[in-house]
Amino acid sequence: MKIAISGKGGVGKTTIMALLGNEFKKAGKDVLIIDADPSPHMAETLGVKDVAAIRPIAEMTRLLVERSGKVEGSPFYNMNPQVNDLLQDFMISHEGFKLMVLGAIQTGDKGCACPENNVLRRMLTKLLLSPEQIVLLDMEAGVEHLGRGTIASVDQLLIVVIPSRSSIRTALKIKKLAEDVKIARIDFVGNLIRDEKDQAFLSEGLGVVPIAFFADSQAIRDAERAEIPLTHISAPAEDTPQLLMKALIGSISSPPLEYSSPEE
């Protein structure tokens, strides 16, 4: 199962992805987290010390080109290069997680990280998973990655949204673009929720009730400031990560929900 997470900048995508990954790990799943944000923070969130030791996925370009070369004895090119055996060189293991970083850190003079995202897109398309394997993809903020079709091959997209009108507007744009690239399952996840008014505000603005609401947590804020991995603190989001995991597992055997946004 391949799950991507997106949303407006600052809504807590990485936090929720780390908490969700921890729940899948506790449930006995083989969890691979891919940090595809141009400013990656997942390694620090999980408590990885030697971040420099992570070989970025962007370096897989040459290997994929080689795998896509001409088939021996044929004038045709291999359009389906296998990638599973390449992954060990581009991931690290940490406390039961596997982690990969795209390496597409944008700077003022670099511009679009299209080549790196093309490698990621090809890798996700060719990646073969067993039922016990979960890939969690932490995407860059905003909508550009959807315009590039980077996550078109994922099974589910989670759009994190906080109770603000600008976050709702971005979330609805992401949903529309995700539908355009034919992602079958798209759900909203509320974050930084303080009360039922926040829940109602999001549900009304989105036109659907999010599948999970994460409370505004002082424990998570304190852990980030103290550089303590979220996976090391007790119940940082109560039982919400577990409920979200169960909702995602249940969605595998049920048809995608159909709903219309209030802007349609």
For residue 260, tell me if it sits in a domain: no
Domains in the chain, number: 1
Q: How far apart are CA 215 and CA 253, in angstroms?
A: 28
Residue ranges, the chain, pLDDT below 70? 61-62, 64-84, 86, 104-119, 126, 128, 142-150, 251-264
The pTM assigned to this predicted structure is 0.81
For residue 192, tell me if it sits in a domain: yes
For residue 244, tell me if it sits in a domain: yes
For residue 52, tell me if it sits in a domain: yes
Contact indicator for 170, 200 with CB cutoff of 8 Å: no
In 3D space, the residue among 167, 165, 159 whose CA is nearest the CA of residue 186 turns out to be 159
- How would you classify residue 182: left for phi > 0, otherwise alpha for psi between -120 and 50, otherwise beta? left
**pLDDT confidence of residue 30:** 93
Q: How does pLDDT run across 112-140, given as a tens digit for each residue?
A: 555 566 667 777 776 767 788 899 999 87
Here the contacts of 251-256 (C-beta below 8 Å, separation 24 or greater) are: 251/156, 251/185, 251/187, 252/1, 252/155, 256/184, 256/185, 256/186
Q: Determine the structural domain holding residue 155 and report its residue range.
A: 2-70+78-251
Query: In the structure encoding, which two tokens stand for residue 117, read together?
Result: 């995202």
**pLDDT confidence of residue 111:** 46
For residue 121, tell me if it sits in a domain: yes
For residue 237, CA distances in Å to 19, 23, 95, 199 come to 8, 11, 20, 16
For residue 257, tell me if it sits in a domain: no
Beta-sheet strand order (sheet of 2-7): 92-94, 97-101, 30-36, 133-139, 2-7, 156-161, 185-193, 212-215
Secondary structure class of 190 (helix, strand, coil): strand
For residue 256, tell me if it sits in a domain: no
Q: What is the CATH number of the domain that holds 218?
A: 3.40.50.300
For residue 263, tell me if it sits in a domain: no
